[in-house]
Structure 1
C-alpha cells in the first residue's frame, strides 16, 4: 500500500513538473479563430494540382464515373485520416517529431520522416509557384501569343492558325514554346548544366520572400494571410466558370468531363488512381495537418472541420474541372479538333491549353492575370503548410521562443535554405530534376508514413492497456456534440540514383529512429525497452494535464 501511494505521489509530482515546464516554455501561439484553422487547412489541401491534375484524371478514367470511387475513398479513408492527424496534433500541441516521440517513443522516426518529406517537397513546390509569378510578370508583354520572338522556332504556331495547317503534326503552340524555350530555356539533356536563369531566380526570390513574411510570426501572421490566399482562388474560379460556360464549344468540353463511362468501374486501376489522387490532394502523411492541429484550442470542433475541409477540397476539384473543360471545349472549337485531341496532362493543361484559350478572349490581359494570380494563391497556401511543418520542429525543440526576434530569425534562415535548395530547379536542366522530385517525393514516402500512422494510432495507441481513459476520447466526443535516358532525355549516372534517394530517404528515418531509441536505452532489458517504447509518455498528455482532464487507470 505504501509503495502504491509513493508511486502515485511521484506520478503527480512528475505531472506538475511537466505542466510547469510547458507553461514556462510553450509560447507557440494559437489560431486567432477556428475559421483561420479551417481556411489554413483548406488552403493547404486545395492546390495547383486541383486545377491541372484532377480534371484530367476524371476525363481519362471514365468521366463522372470516376467520382464514385473518389467519393467512396473520401468517406472511408480521407476524413478519418485527416481527423486522426489533426486530433493527435491538437491533443499533444506538438509537431510530428515530438508528437510521435512522446506518443510512441520507439517510432519517433515517423515524425522525422514526415518533416523531411515536407522539406523535400517544398523545394520543388517553390519553383512551381515561381512559374506562376513569372507568368504574372509577363502578362503585360504576353509573348506567348506570338511566334516572332527570338526564342521561337520555325515550328511555332499560334492558336488562331492551327486550324489552317491540319496536315502538320510537328508544330508547337506559341504558348508551349514560351514555356519550354523562354521560361525554362530547357536543355536537351541533363548533362547541359548552367547557372540559374535570371528571370526564374527573381521569381523564386520574390516567392520565397512572400512565404517568409507570411510566416514571420507563425500562425498569428499566416492565419491572417489565409483570409485572402484561401478565398481568392474561389473568386478566380467563379469568374472563369461563368466566363467559360458561355464560350462556343464549352458545353461539348463539359460533356466529355462529366459523361460517365460505368464500364470503367470494373477496372481496378481506376480505383487506385482515385485513391492516389485523393492522397496527393489532401497531403496526408506530410505532417501538415498535425502541425496545423497543434495550434488549435484544446476543444476545437475537429470533426466538423475535417468534414468541411475534405468536402471543400472535393468541391474545388470538381469546380475546377468545369472551368478547365469549358475552356478546353472552347479551344477545341477554335482549332477545329475533337476535344480528346486537345486535352493534355499535367503542366501542359494549365500553361499551354488554358493559356492559349484565355489569350484569345476580349480582355485577355485581365483573364490571364486573374488565372495566374489565382494559381499563385492556390500554391502559396500549400507552401505555407510545408514550411510551417519544418519551422514547427524548431519550436518544439525549444530553439524558437515565441514570436519575437528568434522566430523571425529562424523563419528567415529557413527562407534562405528554401531559396538555395530551390535554385537547381532554375537551371536549364532543372525541369528534369523537378519531375524527379514531383514523382518520387510524394509517392513512396507519403504512402509509407500514412500506413505507419494508421497502424500506430489505430492499434498501438488505441489499446486500452496502453492508452487508458484520458482526454483524447473526450476531445473527440466534444467534436460530435536502364536505357541511359530519363524523362526522354539523356541523363548522367547520378540521375538514376537520385529519384530513389528522394523516395527512400524520408522512409529511412523510421528504422533509424528505432535504432537510435534502442541504443539510447540499451542498458535496460529488451522487454522493458519495447514496453516503454510502445507506450505514450506523460509528456505527450501535457495539454490534457493543463486542462485537468487527464485520467489514468488505477
Structure 2
C-alpha cells in the first residue's frame, strides 16, 4: 500500500515538470513577467541585480506604497499552475492542463513496463524513491521466485527496430540526467555567490546533531533514497540468477545513489548561493523544502540567466528523467508483488497487460485529486502520512521478523541449496560474512537494501532494513537502530501544515483531513498482521511449527 500511495502522488510532481517544460518553449519565460492575466498588483519581477538593502533601511517614510510584494515566479506557481484554493475543504475543479500532463506521465510508464521487467530494464537503468538514480544491474535476468515474467520488447507501431531503439533509450534515460546535472553544475558554479552556497552545503553545523528532527528526517530520507522497506529492490533482486553477484550490485547502487545526491546537492546550493547574492537575503532564509524548491526557487534563478528558456528545459527534463526512472521501479515493484500472489493469472501476457493498465488507470484517477484547485493540500496529505514514519514501522517489523522469527541461519541456506549453485563459501557465505562482520555500523543502512540477498522467503514485502548478523546480540543491536529512529520520529511529530509562499501564516489542516491521513497510514500497517494471519491459517502444522 505504501508503494501504491507513493506511485499515486509521485507522478503529480512529473506532471508539474511537464507543465514547466511546455511553458519553457518561448522566448521569455512566463514566470519572469508581471503583465500576465494571473498576476496581481503586488507582483514584482525578480532580477539579477543585487538589492541594496540600505535604501530601504534609510527610508523613513513611504506613502501609498505597499512593501508586501510577491515575486512573479511564486504567483505563476500558485495562481497559474496550481490555481490553489484556500484549503483542502475547497477542492475545486480539475486543472485539465495538469490532468493531461499527468495522463502523459502514466502513458509513458505503461508503455515501458506493460510487457515485463526486460522492457523496463532496457528503458532505464535503475531507479529509487527520492530524486535519485541507481544502477540497473539488478534488473536483468529471469525471475527466480513467483511467476516467470513475460520477456519481450517494447513494440512501437512505427516500423522501428524495437531492440535497437530500446537499448538506445536505456542509455539515454540512464546517462542523460547526469549530463544535465554536470552541465547545470558548471553553469551555476560560475554564478556570483555560488561559492557561498557550496560552503553552506559542505560545512557541517555540529549543533544540529542535538536536534532530533534532523535525525528523524535524515533516517527517513535514507529509507526513501535507497528504497528500503518498499519492496522495490526485492522485486528486482528476484529476477537475478542464483550466481548473480548481488554484493557488487549493492555496492554500486549505494555509490551511485550517494554520488547522485551529492551532485544534485551541489547544483542546488550553487543556485541558492546565487539567489542569496542577488537578493541580499541570508541563504538559510531562501532555501525551501518540498515542491517550492524545484518549482519556485530554481525557476526563479533560471529566469535571471541568459538563455533562460534553454536552461529551464534542461532542468525540467532532468527532473522528469530521474522521476520517471523511479516510477518504473515503483510500479514494477507493486506489480511483481501482485504476481507473487497471483502467479498463474499474471503468467498470461494479456492478463498482465490488462492488470498493468488497471493499476495505471487507478493510480491516475487517484492522482486527479491532486491536480485540482485544492490538489496541493491533498498532495501534502499523501506525502506526510502515506510514507515518512510509516515506512520506519515497516522497516522495524521487517528487521524484527527476519532477525528473530525467520532466523539468520535460514537466510543464506536457500541460496546455497538452489540448483546451479556451486555451494562454494565465496558464493554462499561471502555476502553474509562480509556485509555483517567487516562493515562499520555507519554503512549498515547503505549496504543492506533487500535485493542484496537472492533468497526465497514467504514475504512479498521487502527484506530486512538492517543487516542481520550471525549472533543474537548483533541482531538485537542492528534492530535497535531502527527502533531508536522510529522513537525519535514519534517524539518530533508535528501537526501537518502547509506554508504557501505568498502568505505569511501556514495553513493548518482541519481535523477530518488529519484523520483521513492517519487512515491512509494505518491501512498500510494493518495489512501486515492480516496477511500474517492468512498465511498462518493456510499453512499446515502446529502454531509453533508455522511460526
Q: Shift of the alpha carbon at 1:358?
A: 1.2
Match of 1:117 in 2: 2
TM-score by length of 1: 0.69
- C-alpha distance in 1, partners of 2:365/2:205? 47
Structure 2 Cα separation of the partners of residues 145 and 128 of structure 1: 21
- For the pair 1:510 / 2:528, whether they are aligned, the reply is yes
* Cα distance in 2, alignment partners of residues 321 and 169 from structure 1: 33
Partner secondary structure for residue 425 of structure 1? coil
Residue deviations 1:13-60 (CA, integer Å, cap 9, x gap)? xxxxxxxxxxxxxxxxxxxxxxxxxxxxxxxxxxxxxxxxxxxxxxxx
- CA–CA separation in structure 2 for the residues paired with 1:308 and 1:409: 35
Q: Report the Cα distance in structure 2 between the residues aligned to 1:502 and 1:297, rounded to whole angstroms.
A: 36
Q: Offset at 1:485? A: 8.9
Map of 2:515 onto structure 1 = 497
Counterpart among 453, 460, 463 of residue 398 in structure 2:
453
Q: Map Cα deviations across residues 211-265 of structure 1 (whole Å, 9 max, x no partner).
A: 0001011111111111332322111110001111111111111111112333444
Out of 302, 306, 313, the position equivalent to 2:250 is 306
Aligned counterparts of 1:150 and 1:403: Cα–Cα separation in 2 = 53
Summarize the alignment of residues 233-248 of structure 1 with structure 2, pairs less than 5 Å apart.
233-248=177-192
Q: For the residues of structure 2 that align with 1:519 and 1:471, how far apart are their CA atoms?
A: 27
Please show how residues 97-496 of structure 1 align to structure 2 within 5 Å. 116-141=1-26, 142-160=29-47, 163=51, 167=56, 170-226=68-124, 227=170, 228-396=172-340, 397-398=342-343, 400-402=345-347, 404-464=349-409, 469-472=413-416, 475-477=427-429, 487=498, 488-489=506-507, 494-496=512-514
Deviations 1:451-484 (A, max 9, x none): 12212222322254x6694435955536679x99
Aligned length: 412
Q: For the residues of structure 1 that align with 2:246 and 2:337, how far apart are their CA atoms?
A: 23
Work out whether residues 52 and 280 of structure 2, in 8 Å CA contact, stay in contact via their aligned partners in 1: no
Residue 201 of structure 1 aligns to a residue in which SS? helix
The offset of 1:276, in angstroms, is 2.3
Q: CA deviation at 1:442?
A: 1.1
More helix by share: 1
* Cα pair 2:232 2:334 within 8 Å, conserved: no
Q: 1:492 to 1:454 in 2, by over 3 A?
A: closer
Is the partner of 2:35 in helix, strand or coil? Answer: coil
In the alignment, the residues of structure 2 paired with residue 146 and residue 468 of structure 1 have an alpha-carbon distance, to the nearest angstrom, of 62
Deviation at 1:311, TM superposition (A): 1.9
Match of 1:529 in 2: 543
- Mapped partners of 1:235, 1:212: distance in 2: 26
In structure 2, distance between residues paired with 1:255 and 1:327: 12
For structure 1, which runs of at least 5 residues remain unmatched after alignment?
1-115, 535-554
Q: Is the 8 A contact 1:208 1:415 kept in 2?
A: yes
Corresponding residue SS for 2:18: helix
**Distance in 1 of aligned mates of 2:394 and 2:495:** 32
Q: Distance in 2 between matches of 1:123 and 1:387?
A: 10
Distance 1:273 1:492, change over 3 A: closer
Q: TM-score, structure 2 length as denominator?
A: 0.70
CA distance in 2, matches of 1:297, 1:468: 15
CA RMSD after TM alignment = 2.7
- How much does 1:176 deviate? 1.2
Secondary structure (helix, strand or coil) at the match of 2:25 reads coil
CA distance in 2, matches of 1:485, 1:453: 27
- 1:493 Cα deviation (Å)? 5.2
Deviation per CA, 1:502-528: give whole Å up to 9, x if none. Answer: 21110001122233345546xx77xx1
Partner secondary structure for residue 377 of structure 2:
helix
